[in-house]
Amino acid sequence: MKRNVLLFIMGCFFCSNGLFAQDIITLKSGDEIKAKVQEIGTNN
């Protein structure tokens, strides 16, 4: 039981690196812009 919990926690830790929110904006010209949302306001 303890081993399963430990493996689950380790799996979550190693997989969490890919969970940071990032977007790629693709323009009509085909150019790509990597973006990251830093702040969300009430008007945006």
4-26: pLDDT as tens digits: 888 888 877 776 655 555 678 88
Q: How confident is the model at residue 29 (pLDDT cuts 50, 70, 90)?
A: very high
Higher pLDDT, 19 or 40: 40
| pTM for this predicted structure | 0.36
Tokens of 18: 């890919």
Strands (E), 1-44: 23-26, 32-35
